[in-house]
Structure 1
Amino acid sequence: MKKLIIGGVINAIISIVVGGGAAWGVTYYAHSNNAPVEKKSHSADKKKVDLKKSVFISMPETLITLHDKDDNDRYMLVEIVLVGDGEDKEKTDLITANEPLYQSIAVDTLSSMSYESVRKLHVSEIKDLLLASLNKVVAARNMEAPYHDLLIKKVVYQ
């Protein structure tokens, strides 16, 4: 009888230790995974743009030739929208006037990649890649960017 009681007490202690460790682990990892998300949301708050005053300018569809691992031609169709300040008519006109430049940058950026690597990218990653390329080329040309964001309206692969 004593052995049964002692065994039950030992099992209870082990259960408490294991359960407590598991609860601590879940809590620790849940809080560590939420921390970067909170930081991202705070940095996004700093970059907020009033979309009520923004204008969305669609670029014509851009066809990009990609090569797959077998060196076959594959195609990607992407439609880009640049977001400009609706209160500044000069900047919005400049976006429209520079459409060929922006399309050229998109083609140059994406066509240098393989089909497989582009297919692995999420639309948000393509957006970030194109926006970084646009900003880099515009800065290299000593121009002020007339847009403040880029959106991907459509992506089609063949």
Structure 2
Amino acid sequence: MKKSLILVLIVIFLAVIGAGGWWLMADHKAENNGTQGMGSWFKSKPPQASFIEIKDLVITLQAEENRPRYLLLDIVLVVRGEEQSTQAQAFEPAVRSATVALLNNQPFDEVRSRTLPALHDQLLKRYQDEAKQLGFQTLPFDDIMISKMVFQ
């Protein structure tokens, strides 16, 4: 009798633990606050980032010594998903044009002294302005990276 009571209590305990685990992992919504259970943690994640390289942007800079100065710049567009990748590739000429328009004929020393985060922010702002002029609601990419900066 004592063994069967212990066995029944163990089965009930395991059933309660199992039901509690199911409740935590289930994708249910609470009536008042609309939160989801832990099951939502395991849903599919957004597509991983992929990259589109824009290479060999050659920009003429102003030089004090009357000799030509150039900047060779490579930029990478960070995209997520196939649709955004297609849109970003179509937007590539606008990126090239906006980059040249922003940096062309700026003083060599001024461009050379900029930090990468400052240049990143200036380029991103310029791309956003260009996208608005072309009728895009948002940029067709998530971010940019500067992968090469060579001064001559």
Q: 1:127 aligns with which of 120, 123, 126?
A: 120
CA contact (8 A) 2:60 2:105 kept: no
TM-score (norm 1): 0.62
Q: Indicate whether 1:151 and 2:132 are aligned.
A: no
Q: Say what the alpha-carbon RMSD is for the aligned residues.
A: 1.8
Conserved in 2, the CA contact under 8 Å of 1:84 and 1:92?
Answer: yes
Q: Which residue of 1 aligns with 2:19?
A: none
Match of 1:57 among 37, 52, 65: 52
Contact 1:135 1:145 in 2 (8 A): yes
Q: Based on CA coordinates, which of the two structures has the bigger radius of gyration?
A: 2
After superposition, where does 1:21-100 map in structure 2 within 5 Å?
A: 53-86=48-81, 89-100=82-93
* Structure 1 residue 101: Cα displacement: 1.4
How far residue 71 of structure 1 moved from its aligned partner, in angstroms, is 3.9
Shift, 1:58, TM fit? 0.8
How many Å apart are 1:139 and its aligned residue? 1.4
- Which is richer in helix? 1
Contact kept in structure 1, 2:47 and 2:80, CA below 8 Å = no
After superposing on structure 2, the runs of 4+ consecutive aligned residues of structure 1 that deviate more than 2 Å are 69-72
Give, in angstroms, the shift of residue 72 of structure 1: 2.9
Cα distance between partner residues in 2 of 1:74 and 1:81: 23
Q: Partners in 2 of 1:141 and 1:118 — Cα distance? A: 27
> Closer, same or farther in 2 for the Cα pair 1:51/1:146, shift >3 Å?
same
Letter in 2 for 1:69: E
* Structure 1 position 104 matched with structure 2 position 102: no
SS of the aligned residue for 1:113 comes to coil
Q: Extract unaligned runs of 5+ from structure 1.
A: 1-49
CA contact (8 A) 1:80 1:154 kept: yes
- Identical-pair percentage: 29
Give the SS at the match of 2:55. coil
3-state secondary structure, aligned to 2:139: coil
Alignment match, 1:40: none
Report the Cα distance in structure 2 between the residues aligned to 1:155 and 1:90, rounded to whole angstroms.
29
Tell whether the 8 Å contact from 1:68 to 1:114 is kept in structure 2 after alignment.
yes
TM-score normalised according to structure 2 size? 0.64
